[in-house]
Structure formats: C-alpha cells, structure tokens
Amino acid sequence: MLTLLKDKIYIRYWLAVVVSFLGDVMTLTAVLFLIGTTTASPFLISLVFVAQLLPGVILGPFVGPLIDKFSRGWVMFYADIFRCFIVFCMMAFIESPTLLIVLVCLQGVGTAIFEPARMASIPTIVGFHRIPESIALFQTTLAVIKLAGPIIAGVLLAFQSITIVLFLDAISYIVSATLILSLTVIRKQEVSTQNHSYVKQLLIGVSEMFRVPILLFLMILLLPVLISVGMFLTNYKAVLLQVFQLTNLEFGLMEGVYAFGTVVGAIISSVLIKKYTHYKFLYASIVALGLCNMFVFVVEKVFFLELQIYLGILIVWCLFLGLTNALLIIPTSTIFLQNIPEMIRGRGTAIFYSFFNLYILTGTLIGGLVGTKLNVILTMELSGIILLLTAITYPFFARSTFMKKIQAQPAYNR
C-alpha cells in the first residue's frame, strides 16, 4: 500500500487530496464551534451537516456529464478555485451563522464537483489492479486527517481565531489546485468526443451504469447498509457522551481509538481484498459491522464494573467499530471503480457519489428521529439488526440468476 507513495504521479495527487481535506475538516470544526458557541442551537448545528452533504446528493448526477466531457484535472482545478473563493467569503461573514451555513452549502457544491472527478481519476493515476491499494491508503489517510484536523483547529481557535483557520483552508485549496495542475495524466486525458446533448449524456450514463449487473447489485445492497451507517453515525457520539457519560478526556481517547481502528481496518482490507472475492468480502464486512453495533447492548450492561475494566471494554468496542467501518468502505469502492465502464466513468462516479450521500443522509435523519423518540442505544441496536438482516440475503444472492450474470462479466473479479 505504501509503495504508492513512491510513485511520483500518485504522491502529488495524494498530497493535493490530503491538503484540501485537512483544510475542510479544520473549517468544519471551526464553523461548528462558532455556531455552537454563539447560538447554542442544535437545529443550526444539524443544518451545517445537512448543508455539507446536500449538494452532493442533489448535484451529483448532473455533474457526471461534465466530468466525462472535460478533462477531470481541469474540473478538479476549477472546483478547488471555487471553494477557495467561498472560504475567503466566509472570513467576511463569521458573525452571521445563517450566511456561514449558506457558504458551507456553496462549499459543498464545489466538493460535489471535485469528489466525483477525483474518484473517477483513480484508475487513470494508479492503474486497474492497484485500485484496492489506492482506496486503502486514502481511507487510512482520511482517518488520520479526521483525527488530526479537529485537534489542529482546536489549538488555533484557542490561541488564534477562526479567521486563521479559514485562511489556512483557503490556502490549502490553492496548494491542491497547483498540485492537480501538475498532473498532466489527468489534465490531458482523452475526453469524450460524443456529440450527444447534455441530457442525452446524462441518460446514457444512468442506463449504462445500471446495465452492469454487479453495479446494480451494489446500489441495491448499499441502500439498507448505508442507511444503517447513517443511523450509527448519528447516535454513536451520543451514546458515548449521554449514556456512558464520558469525560472530555475519555471521549477524546475513544475518538482517537476509533480513528486508529479505521487505520488498522484500511491496512487489513488492502491485504484481504487481494485474497477474497470482493462481494464476499463486502458481505463479511456487513456482518462484522452489524455485530459491532449490536455489541453496544453488552457494553451498556457492564457499565457497573470498575472504571478500568469498563474503559478497557469500551476501548476494544470503539477500536472494532472503526475497524469494521473501514472494512466496509474498501470493497465497496473497489467493486465500483473496477467495474464501471471507462466511457461513463465520470457520470457513473457522480451518480454513485450522489446515491452514497443520499443513503447516509437518509440514515442520519432516521437515526436522529428514532434516537429522539426512543433512545440512542436502541437505535444503535436497530442499525445492527438491519445490517445483519441484509447480510442473510447472501445465500439467496449467491444462487440467483443475478449472480450468474455478474460472474459472466469480463471485468468480474475473482
């Protein structure tokens, strides 16, 4: 996996993504801190997350034809420049929470353009057979960024100001755009020469994507899976803080353990995905994550034990939650990128990105509603049950005519 960093082309791509993602995490932390301390409104705080995800859900499919028609390198470059401009605008409106949320949404528009182009560029940069390694390295890096970003932002907010955080994020986009501009392999890639209208290109992308059996299977399977993940993400931190009543230090420790688990999971995935059939690996990861979510019932029951024993059990649980979440992402992304036809890779990636965000956003809303009406422990258990019920469809899937169509594909992976 780390051998990719010796590739002179990939290292520039990787650095561009690292820099811009780190800036994003720092800005999100700063905006949440500002809104949380100036308004004390849970509704406005939730709107920040919605504003960040919603553009990807709505705009995703409509971005696809542009990614296939134009150079993906230039698409990413202009998306970075747009996001840089938006973050500079944020610096002028830090005293207006409403305008900040609007600008977060506009920043999300830039991300909704950048992300599908970035994902569609992976096979071009690393080659078909190194896609699993690239995804594993990216997930490992992302876990470290999600851990380090809030810490860096917190230090800057404590000793400097939110303006400094936003300024650094704006600079990160400039650095990212410069690095992407140096990647001639994606800046000068062959683009679509078809003369179809924009709408026709969009419809061709949708129909061609869902004609690939394994991609149709993936989109159906991910519906309950990612809704469950959204339910988990909504209630996991509430369980730690409200049910288990962790102190700030203990909560920070668990967040670090969870992030470390995702790093371990990404490394393990990069090895296992070379040895096992991708769809079998995906089903196994669904089972593992479902069991980890269900284990919250056991963790709650041992709450009465001595603090050292209880914290030890909690550490192990958080470690495996992070690990199993990483195990789920890597086979999912690998199946998609190794099976999407080259002619619709941009459109297909944008559609996949849109559905991915839609499923998680739906799960987030369901998780918030159920967690409020019932309780967060039951919601976590419910998300685990949904995952396990999804996993038991495997015997039916393995014997279906649908599976025979998948195995007949030229690009079918082991």
Q: Please indicate, yes or no, if residue 226 is contained in any of the structural domains.
A: yes
Q: Answer yes or no: do 258 and 302 share one domain.
A: yes
Cα-to-chain-centroid distance, residue 160: 30
Whole-number pLDDT of residue 414: 42
Classify 276 in phi/psi space as left (phi over 0), alpha (psi -120 to 50) or beta.
beta
Q: Answer yes or no: do 366 and 275 share one domain.
A: yes
Q: Answer yes or no: do 322 and 208 share one domain.
A: yes
Instruction: Give me the CATH number covering residue 408.
Output: 1.20.1250.20
Arithmetic mean of pLDDT, 28-43: 72
- According to DSSP, residue 392 is labeled T
- Our separate counts of H helices and E strands in the chain read 17, 0
At 217, the amino acid letter reads F
Percent of the chain at pLDDT > 70 equals 89
Nearest C-alpha neighbor of 151 from the set 263, 255, 241, 242: 255
Dist. CA 353–CA 345, nearest whole Å:
12
Last residue of a domain, one of 193, 225, 245: 193
Q: Please indicate, yes or no, if residue 209 is contained in any of the structural domains.
A: yes
| Residue 41 three-state SS | coil
pLDDT higher than 80, residue 33? no
Whole-number pLDDT of residue 266: 79
Structural domain of 336: 203-414
Rounded to a whole number, what is the distance in angstroms from the first to the last CA of the chain?
20
Whole-number pLDDT of residue 42: 56
Q: Answer yes or no: do 216 and 265 share one domain.
A: yes
Q: Are 181 and 73 in contact (CB under 8 A)?
A: yes
Q: Please indicate, yes or no, if residue 55 is contained in any of the structural domains.
A: yes
Nearest C-alpha neighbor of 166 from the set 26, 44, 32, 16: 26
Residues 6+ apart with CB under 8 A from 79: 110, 111, 113, 114, 117
- Report pLDDT digits (tens) over 210-219: 787 778 888 8
Q: Residue-wise over 361-391: b if at least 16 C-beta within 10 A, else e?
A: bbbbbbbbebbeeebbbebbbbbbebbbebb
Last residue of a domain, one of 158, 193, 228: 193
Q: Please indicate, yes or no, if residue 198 is contained in any of the structural domains.
A: no
Token pair 């919605």: residue: 50
Percent of the chain at pLDDT > 90 equals 13
Whole-number pLDDT of residue 233: 80
Last residue of a domain, one of 193, 212, 245: 193
Arithmetic mean of pLDDT, 332-358: 81
Nearest C-alpha neighbor of 73 from the set 172, 175, 180: 180
Q: Answer yes or no: do 335 and 409 share one domain.
A: yes
Q: Answer yes or no: do 218 and 281 share one domain.
A: yes
> Residue 145 phi/psi, 5° resolution?
-65, -45
Top mean pLDDT of 70-79, 109-118, 246-255, 380-389 is at 380-389
- Total domain count, the chain: 2
Q: Answer yes or no: do 118 and 214 share one domain.
A: no
Q: Please indicate, yes or no, if residue 56 is contained in any of the structural domains.
A: yes
Q: Answer yes or no: do 184 and 37 share one domain.
A: yes
Whole-number pLDDT of residue 112: 86
Q: Please indicate, yes or no, if residue 279 is contained in any of the structural domains.
A: yes
Q: Are 134 and 329 in contact (CB under 8 A)?
A: no
Whole-number pLDDT of residue 177: 92
Q: Answer yes or no: do 331 and 210 share one domain.
A: yes
Dist. CA 258–CA 308, nearest whole Å:
18
* Beta strand spans in 156-299 (E): none
- Report pLDDT digits (tens) over 44-71: 766 787 788 788 888 877 887 777 777 8
Q: Answer yes or no: do 149 and 217 share one domain.
A: no
Q: Answer yes or no: do 169 and 218 share one domain.
A: no
Arithmetic mean of pLDDT, 293-318: 80
Whole-number pLDDT of residue 2: 61
Give the orientation angle of helix 376-391 with respect to helix 345-373, to 10 degrees.
Answer: 140
Q: Answer yes or no: do 56 and 23 share one domain.
A: yes
